[in-house]
Amino acid sequence: MFLALLEIRAARGRFLLMGSVVMLVAALVGIVSGFTTGLGNDTVSALRALPASHVSFSSDAESDQFDRSLVDRKAVGSWQQEDGVEEAAPLGVSITRGTTDRGVDVDLAAFGLEPGSFLAPESTDGRPVGTSQNGVVVSQQLVDEGVRIGDTITIDRLGVELPVDGVAGPDSYGHVPAAYVPLETWQQVRFTTPGTDPDSRPVDQFSGVALKASDGEDADFAAADERHGARTLPREKVLEAAPGYSGERVTMTSIQVFLFLIAPLVVGAFFAVWTVQRGPELALLRAMGASRAKLLSHSVLQAATVVVCGTAAGGLVALGVGALVGGAVPFSLPASSLGTTLLAVAVVGLAGTALTLRRVTAPDPLTMLGANR
Beta strand pairing call for 125-126 and 105-113? unpaired
Residue 119 carries which side chain, given as an amino acid letter?
L
Return the number of other C-beta atoms located less than 10 Å from residue 48's C-beta.
13
Asked if residues 212 and 118 have their Cβ atoms less than 8 Å apart, the reply is: yes
Measured between its terminal Cα atoms, the distance across the chain in Å is 32
List the one residue out of 108, 117, 126 whose CA is nearest residue 184.
117
- Lowest mean pLDDT across 22-31, 44-53, 102-111, 353-362: 353-362
The mean pLDDT of the chain is 86
Nearest-CA neighbor of 181 among 128, 143, 145? 128
- Provide the residue count of the chain: 373
% residues pLDDT > 90 (the chain): 50
Distance CA 168, CA 149 (A): 11
Indicate the residue type of 261: L
The residue type at 358: R
Q: Reply yes or no on whether the pLDDT at 117 is more than 90.
A: yes
pLDDT in tens, 235-282: 999 998 888 888 888 988 899 888 888 888 888 888 777 666 666 666
pLDDT in tens, 320-338: 998 888 777 888 888 888 9
Q: Indicate if the pLDDT at residue 21 is higher than 90.
A: no
Please tell me the predicted confidence (pLDDT) of residue 224. 93
Residues 151-193 pLDDT 10s: 999 999 888 999 999 999 999 999 999 999 999 999 999 988 7
Smallest CA-to-CA distance from 143 within 151, 135, 133 is with 151
What is the identity of the amino acid at 198? Answer: P
Whole-angstrom distance, CA of residue 193 vs CA of residue 19: 61
pLDDT band at 293 (very low <50, low <70, confident <90, very high): low
363 pLDDT higher than 70: no
Which helix (H) or strand (E) element contains residue 212?
Answer: strand 208-213
